[in-house]
Amino acid sequence: MAYPTEQPAGPSQPPEGPEPAVPVTPGPFGPAIDWRQWLRLEGPPRPWRRSLAAGAGAAVAIMVLGVLLGLLWAWLAPAVPVVNGGDAGVLVTDASPEQYIAADGWFTLLGLGFGLIVTVGSWLVLRRDRGPFLLFGVVGGAFVAGRWVAPAVGEWLGRDAYQNWRETAAQGATYLAPPELQSLGPKLVPAFIAAIVLTLLAGWSNDPDLDHPGARPGYGPNHGYPAPFAEGPAVPYPPAAGYDEPNPYAPPGPAGAGDPYAPTGPAGAGDSYAQAAGPGDSGAAGIETPPGDGPAPGKGTRPGGDA
């Protein structure tokens, strides 16, 4: 019977290039890798110019996307009904207009979704360049897009037509004025969401070495340990001390060799306890009577049952 090996399964692909020695110590369940290998930083760090370029590119892209945020807000936010009051100027027809609150509410909701989408998208594209530059780029771009770009685009739509009406409308005429933002809070929502989401994404990443070239996000240690499920021959881990000795319970040769309880010939050959066929028995096996049992030849049996 073959005994399974006690060595753990190795990675699915050998590492590229010479692998530095990692301290291996025996553990209760096999070799234990030194925890310090998770903190190894091999090779030069990524140039700061690349990180700066990644952060600046993310900021510019988010600012441009702020135009879409402004267009969507101008389409969803309700217009404000106004009336030309003559010498009193343009007046709102409702004493308690809800359109101003609705415009701020729509911009808050859209800004929340905008900050979440641009942050997750930036992380998926530039997560190998994570760091302070990427954080400042994403948060800064979301701040500019929500504070100036989107409100300017949304309030600019229909502004010329509204000004033309104010100059030419007769007293008592009504009009639907374009929406306007009345508070500063909704304009800061995209940057606030971007800062929180990007910080959480960076904190939950299980890769400690994304600041170095060649890092593979999501695979744990990057140097000396390949990605899982890669094609290639399996390479076992180095054996631990105490596990390279022969198994004292395993047979020294083929299965059954050296086992005093295993048959050495045909079935039943050499076994003093095997059943043998007796005379007159057609195929039925009888029990061989050991010598010394039963009555001796030429002797009878007394009435008391003694031999």
Quick one: pLDDT at residue 103?
96
Quick one: pLDDT at residue 121?
96
Q: Which residue numbers in the chain have pLDDT < 50?
A: 1-12, 213-214, 219-231, 256, 268, 270, 274, 276-277, 280-287, 289, 298, 300-301, 304-307
| DSSP states of 33-54 | E-GGGGG---SPPPPHHHHHHH
Rounded Cα distance, 136 and 133, in Å: 5
Quick one: pLDDT at residue 286?
46
Half-sphere exposure in the Cβ direction for 257 (13 Å, CA): 6
Rounded Cα distance, 190 and 154, in Å: 16
Q: What does pLDDT average to over the chain?
A: 73
172 Cα distance to chain centroid: 63
- The Cα-based distances of 87 to 80, 81, 170, 178, 209 in angstroms read 20, 18, 11, 22, 69
CA-nearest of 192, 198, 116, 117 to 147 is 192
CA-nearest of 14, 19, 12, 10 to 223 is 19
CA-nearest of 228, 240, 223 to 39 is 223
Question: What is residue 198's three-state secondary structure?
Answer: helix
Q: At what angle do helices 185-204 and 132-144 cross, to 10 degrees?
A: 160
107, 179 Cβ separation under 8 angstroms: no
Quick one: pLDDT at residue 38?
55
Quick one: pLDDT at residue 155?
94
Quick one: pLDDT at residue 280?
47
* Tokens standing for residue 8: 């753990």
Quick one: pLDDT at residue 184?
95
Quick one: pLDDT at residue 290?
52
